[in-house]
Structure 1
């Protein structure tokens, strides 16, 4: 059980520090591993039919989230090498799921869009995850959902948190 101690140094908002034992932290880490495994299981089965992996899923997700995003922006969000992303994008373009358009202002930029087939695959993948997330959120309740989001946001690196919050604000 977590123990909370108020700290006068925390400010006037009444924030408190949360002290956790090593066992509680280990269990939290394991919970993340197992939750991630469950969260990715359904999409992994769908992706396997196409010969794709999680990198393809992430690319499809973020291209859908921000149609017209640039390759450089996608590189920043995914945190992968240009070579790795190019392999993923090449397959998605060749299979007719992603369209790459040359930038109108900067001809060196490539803007990425999902095709109708790409949008259909994205819907199938995300619906599997939404169903799992919806059930978990309903079972846990609104306070747990708010706490879960707060914890995830605090675990993000600042740059990734900015990407995430930009997406939340625009979506």
Structure 2
């Protein structure tokens, strides 16, 4: 499939629609994700934690006091899987679970000082990589990259992402 008329002539706004271009994009995503997760994986390796722990720490940090149910929805994992992760993080003193003030059935999650320190170390490793890539690509590419990522999100996930982004 070839590029469409106006975009093919315009240069900068090219839409890459060939199967080969799509394959290259998919492969780039796979390898970029490996690089993006490699640094935190190395940090977590000796702690017997994995990416699920990292994601939980990230989102608890981003939204202190979020409920277990909200974290379940954001992460898209099973209750059993999240309970295993949270139990470990709570037992190891990284996350604190507090009973809700209005609804005693709710559990609100907060990072402890120790959890905050680990989350900063993990996030800083990713920020260093993202900062270098953003500088190398330039502001237009960064804006385009974000647009592509947002366009790939399912509508419900995009709403969650936008709510979280807008809180910052």
Give the Cα–Cα distance (whole angstroms) in 1 for the partners of residues 5 and 61 of structure 2: 43
Q: Secondary structure at the match of 1:96?
A: coil
> 2:16–2:22: 8 Å Cα contact kept in structure 1?
no
Aligned-residue offset at 1:49: 1.8
TM-score, scaled relative to structure 2: 0.92
Q: Secondary structure at the match of 2:15?
A: strand
Superposition map of 1:1-171 within 5 A: 3-6=3-6, 18-171=15-168
Instruction: List alignment gaps of at least 5 residues for structure 2.
Output: 8-12
> Compared with structure 1, are the counterparts of its residues 39 and 68 closer, same or farther at alpha carbon in structure 2 (3 Å cutoff)?
same
Please identify which structure carries the higher strand content: 1
Where does residue 10 of structure 2 map in the other structure?
none
> 1:4–1:19: 8 Å Cα contact kept in structure 2?
no
Aligned-residue offset at 1:17: 8.8
**RMSD, aligned α-carbons:** 1.6
Aligned-residue offset at 1:3: 2.5
Q: Secondary structure at the match of 1:50?
A: coil
Instruction: List alignment gaps of at least 5 residues for structure 1.
Output: 8-15
Give the Cα–Cα distance (whole angstroms) in 1 for the partners of residues 23 and 34 of structure 2: 17
Greater mean deviation of Cα atoms: 118-127 or 19-28: 19-28
Give the Cα–Cα distance (whole angstroms) in 1 for the partners of residues 36 and 3 of structure 2: 30
Give the Cα–Cα distance (whole angstroms) in 1 for the partners of residues 6 and 132 of structure 2: 34
Aligned pair count reads 162
